[in-house]
Chain A
Amino acid sequence: MWGSNARAAHPIFFHHVLRGIESGTELIVVDPRRTESAAFADLWLGIDVGTDVALSNTIAREIIASDLHDRTFIERGTENFEEYAESVADWTLERGAAVTGIPAEVIREVAHRYAKADRAMICWTLGITEHHNGTDNVLALINLALLTGHVGTYGSGLNPLRGQNNVQGGGDMGAIPNKLPGFQDIIRDNDARARFNAAWDTEIIPRYGWHLSEMFHAMEEGELTAIYCIGENPVSSEADSQHATKLLENLDTLIVQDIFMTKTAEIADVVLPASNSAFESEGTVTNSERRVQRVRKALDPPGEAKDDIWIIAQLAKRLGYEWGDLTPREAWDELRSLSPMHQGMTWERLDQMGGAQWPCWDVDHPGTQYLHARLWSEDPDERLRPAPFSVVDDEPPVDELTEQFPIRLTTGRRLDSYNTGVQTNAYTSPLRRPESVELSQEDAEALGLVEGEQVLVSSRRGEVVAPVHVSSALRPGLAFMTMHFPDEVETNRLTIEATDPKSGTAEFKATAIRVEKLNGHGAEVAS
């Protein structure tokens, strides 16, 4: 589990992990902090923030040097191995230890345990992706799986844990800039485009859209002037939130469709009250294991709140398209007719099978438990395109540590809260404590700070006032904050806007900060 504190951030998934641990599964956790998840691990590696590629490359070099790589799989199912092997050749244990901070013999142990395991899985979340080189981090982990053949077999693989029950479903439905529903490429897949053209009686423009960070860039450039924002609260969740808010306020049109009056809704031109997708509307969700499941309505939404599909259909009507009383089932059947991987999932089968995992090509197809088995095939025609190794190199975080900003701030979640708190702050929890800047006991002592004391936290971009919480999970030089309570402390005033050019994800995980005693100053910042 690499860059993931699933115990706090994915508690339901972690229950399954715990059951595995109980029956003898070994868990290794890589995380700068000794998190709640790490407490359950056989082995925790307290890596320096942003050195994930270095660690991965060092592990790879050790695996190759010890001849533990899976030659059969590499020959059959991959390409670019030679170049990759050469690129990691310099990453000796000693160099890896110096860069990552993890003792050489521990890196060696992890390399050997991972390579020798019968089945091994790498799970990750935002600790990997929320970096300026997040995509490289992911590629580095994929390299390890390819190197050892821990992919395409039962119980192995690469597992990015999803933050919500339906992040995967958003992708399924085409809510990503470069794909049509069913992950069909907008530019490259001419057949798909033709299908959609015919079905929708319109011309799909073969052009990729913008991802979130690009949208903000486009707003800055004046290229994007209207936003229809459904179930998202960018005012609170964006990095460098002051800047993001200004851009949103300057839009010609901002429409927000949400179940709460969020901070983003407050600055919107139009707010459309929506219904809760968990129990006030019908539909489907797709979870982390690509399983599409039905959601059933239990309650009518309150007041004037309406179903999302109804709202969208009404908008379409005003724009001149008559969709009638579009039902969730009709919308689903349309998806099945256009997305081959969903074709076999009839509404009835979803009921009968308790959900189904895509790809599910036809009504006799059982669904697919795991992907990439083709890479193992002895027949090259079945193997299709080999999986490429990627040459990636270590790139330290953009926000450098200096004498002025000597502490590395990383961000994350707590068990009792969710994202910006829109869905969780209304509930009490015995675990809840106010937003704080978490410091190691060593740093707190050096700065003469005590638990609960208000301090000034500054980065190159902004400053906030927050109380100190001393955490044994942190080592000197490492601090931690969450983004759960933007009304109390706007953590994202501090974070850097540097984004990964490939994924558009911001570097929330690595900020250089300074922590100072307040001494009466900073009251104006607090207010």
Chain B
Amino acid sequence: MTAEAAPAERAAVDALLGPPETSWEGGARTSADLRVSRAPEDRRTLLLPALHALQGAVGWVSEGGLNYVCERLTVPPAEAYGVATFYAMFSLEERAPTVVHVCDDLACRVAGGRELLDACRRDVHPEEAVVVSSPCLGQCERAPAALVQRAGESRDDVVLTDVAASPPRVMQAIRDQRIEGAVAYTSVPREPVYAGDRLLARVGDPSATSLEGYRALGGYTALPRALELGGAEVIQLVTAAKLLGRGGAAFPTGVKWTGVADQRVTPKYVICNADESEPGTFKDRVVMERDPFAVIEALTIAGFATGAEQGYLYIRGEYPLATQRVSKAIEEARDAGLLGAGVFGPGRSFDIELRRGAGAYICGEETALFNSIEGKRGEPRNKPPFPVTHGVFGKPTSINNVETLINVLPILNLGVDEYASVGTADSTGTRLFCLSGHVARPGVYEHPHGVTLSEVIEAAGGVRGGNTIKAILLGGAAGGFVGPDRLDARLTFEDARAGGYTLGSGVVMVLDEDADLVDLCLRIARFFRDESCGQCVPCRVGTVRQEEALHRLVIGRTIGSIADEVALLGDVAAVMRDASICGLGQTAASAVQSAIATFGLFDGEATA
């Protein structure tokens, strides 16, 4: 017999989708149902939200629950199973309704994340909660961190930060039924720094999270200006300001918007990529938590300029507070008539739907993100066709990262000349940097392009405890390590290209003399092995081979000589870089390779 959903599971799904209309969707049988049935509108796009509903209600995705979702959305169960198993935050096996995701990724690792993980594994009873090691939770400025995923009524997920080896507080979060909302606990009264004049101008002011406060702080001035100028003129300004994408690829935003605006096919979509998952990156989270309306205003302008009627904001699943703030902000904006029918004038509507990821780094890749929104496995697509012609739902789509989008506000508010008066000729404006690791004051810092690496580190108070720098990870796990000899490097797109390093997503993780680079490389290799979607062979096999070879080097049981293994790592890196279809595989070896090249990681004796 087919497994059936429990009442709590049905209720959770019905709360999202509404009650079923016919018995063919799981409702009560009527005589009309016996003669005629109609395909409900295609709602596969609601598969991911429906899986969240199940996971949130009972703490796992049961066969019965999945069947019910399939019935409601008319998705074949095998397909839905494929999607459910794709995401780390869903469990297809029954387990305790609370899961503690302890981050042992790079920044947390150097701040005691592993010790916290060990302590939780020792002290938390498996019937009460499951403890798992997690990739970067994007809380690097307050490391170490843990995400407590809690199922059941009014048991929202909770993020714990600065909880160095503090299982009692983890236990409190597991047991406390009254915690409502995604409260971020801080045990150490150490306020991270979020400093900047343009993009971060409002993040220090708690009132910015309300519409009234946002307006009082200069918000919603760019949108009226855009409406006054018209879409073509807005794109003209963005192009003239030379805004380049901040997600890592540095694609000119004006070109992207023009590409979508020029398409005759409708509907069109704009997407804010807030699936910030690059280890060491947390700037988008800070912006969304503290200045959510800026993101909404900027995405609305993108929709206006490109001719889209629907926007999506895809936020990573591990950001409960940002999800809550953005969701509330969207509602407030809708209530105030800043989203919805007629917002761009008579007959021209625009609205934004918030979509929550569920623990998959790959979904930050734009085409994987489209698939995820569509209710498919988050596997990247081959390009071409490119998103400007065939994006989400196969329609023209402009997708921009949070930081890229909010740059549109100063471009409109200040004008192109003043916007470009800071930075360099080719890298205009400012840039958000995520300072973490062994710096005195971790946080998000806004600097004009052209600032040097040492200036950025100095602004964060330099190295903690006056230690010396061993290495700096630039651009995250997909970036690379540089040595202290590169401290005078200028941080611009053109300098990075010429100098062979990457700004990536703005990660500046400082590692002092005590840091264990081999251990970090292993963690990076594990990260990519975990996060490879498995769709294309170079990455699926290559990430495994890379981790295995590193392990052999670490334990001193190499196949052949050390040099042979290092050469193998180089070969695997070349294959992944050349033959993977998306950026994940193409960059999965870059950090490890940079460590080998810069620090001669395995020269002479094995490091173990």
Contacts and interface: CB of A to CB of B under 8 A. Distances in A.
Category for how many chain B residues contact A: 10 to 19
Contact of A102 (B23, B29, B35): B35
A106 B33 CA distance: 13
A475 B34 contact: yes
Interface in A23-63: 34, 38-46
Nearest to A97: B35
Interface in B14-69: 23-24, 29, 32, 34-39
Contacts of A34: 24, 37
B36 A103 contact: yes
A45 B29 contact: no
A28 to B, nearest CB: 10
B74 interface: yes
A101 interface: yes
A441 interface: yes
A250 interface: no
A39 B35 contact: no
A472 interface: yes
B71 to A, nearest CB: 9
A491 to B, nearest CB: 23
Contacts of B32: 103
B36 A475 contact: no
Contact of B37 (A38, A101, A441): A38
Contacts of B74: 39-40
Contacts of B1: 451
A501 B401 CA distance: 71
B39 A46 contact: no
B79 to A, nearest CB: 11
A43 B24 contact: no
Nearest to A38: B37
Given A472-B23, A472-B29, A46 B34 contact: yes
Most buried by A among B1, B24, B36: B36
Given A441-B29, A472-B29, A43 B38 contact: yes
A101 B31 CA distance: 11
Interface SS of A by simple majority: loop
Contacts of A39: 24, 37, 74
A41 B29 CA distance: 19
Nearest to A470: B1
Contacts of B37: 34, 38-39, 41, 43-44, 46
Nearest to A44: B37
Contacts of A44: 36-38
Interface string B165-183: 0000000000000000000
Interface in B308-332: none
Contact of A42 (B24, B35, B38): B38
Interface SS of B by simple majority: mixed
Given A34-B24, A39-B24, A441-B29, A106 B36 contact: yes
Interface string A98-113: 0001110010000000
Interface in A468-492: 472, 475-476
A42 B36 contact: no
Contact of B35 (A40, A41, A103, A472): A103
B87 to A, nearest CB: 23
Contacts of A41: 37, 39
A178 B382 CA distance: 53
Contacts of B23: 472
Interface string A438-465: 0001000000000100000000000000
Most buried by A among B23, B32, B39: B39
A451 B2 CA distance: 13
Nearest to A47: B35
B293 to A, nearest CB: 38
Category for how many chain A residues contact B: 10 to 19
Contacts of A476: 34
B74 to A, nearest CB: 7
A256 to B, nearest CB: 39
Given A39-B24, A39-B74, A101 B35 contact: yes
A432 to B, nearest CB: 14
Most buried by A among B24, B32, B35, B37: B35
Contacts of A38: 37
Contacts of B39: 40-43
Contacts of A441: 29
Interface string B517-530: 00000000000000
A451 B36 CA distance: 25
B148 to A, nearest CB: 37
Contacts of A40: 39, 74
B491 to A, nearest CB: 46
Nearest to B31: A475
A37 B1 CA distance: 20
A106 B74 CA distance: 22
A475 B29 CA distance: 10
Contacts of A106: 35-36
A113 B38 CA distance: 14
A38 B39 CA distance: 9
A314 B87 CA distance: 62
A386 B461 CA distance: 91
A45 B36 contact: yes
B136 to A, nearest CB: 36
Most buried by A among B1, B34, B74: B34
Nearest to A21: B39
A475 B39 CA distance: 19
A475 B34 CA distance: 6
A349 B149 CA distance: 63
B34 A102 contact: no
Contacts of A46: 34-37
Interface string B274-299: 00000000000000000000000000
A164 B34 CA distance: 31
B38 A45 contact: no
Nearest to B71: A39
Nearest to A27: B39
Interface in A234-256: none
Contacts of B34: 46, 475-476
A254 to B, nearest CB: 43
Contacts of B38: 42-44
Contacts of B35: 45-46, 101-103, 106, 475
Interface string A66-103: 00000000000000000000000000000000000111
Nearest to A452: B1
A103 B33 CA distance: 11
Most buried by B among A39, A41, A106, A441: A39
A119 to B, nearest CB: 20
B390 to A, nearest CB: 13
A48 to B, nearest CB: 10
Contacts of B29: 441, 472
B40 to A, nearest CB: 10
A102 B29 CA distance: 17
A441 B39 CA distance: 23
A248 B330 CA distance: 77
Nearest to A475: B34
Contacts of B36: 43-46, 102-103, 106
Nearest to A474: B34
A103 B38 CA distance: 14
17 contacts: A34-B24, A39-B74, A40-B39, A40-B74, A43-B37, A43-B39, A45-B35, A45-B36, A46-B35, A46-B36, A102-B35, A102-B36, A106-B36, A441-B29, A472-B29, A475-B34, A476-B34
Given A44-B38, A476-B34, 10 more contacts: A34-B24, A38-B37, A39-B37, A43-B39, A46-B34, A102-B35, A102-B36, A103-B36, A106-B35, A472-B23
Interface of B: 1, 23-24, 29, 32, 34-39, 74
Which 9 pairs, one residue from A and one from B, show the smallest C-beta to C-beta distance?
Answer: A475-B34, A46-B35, A44-B37, A42-B39, A106-B36, A43-B38, A102-B35, A34-B37, A46-B34
Interface of A: 34, 38-46, 101-103, 106, 441, 451, 472, 475-476
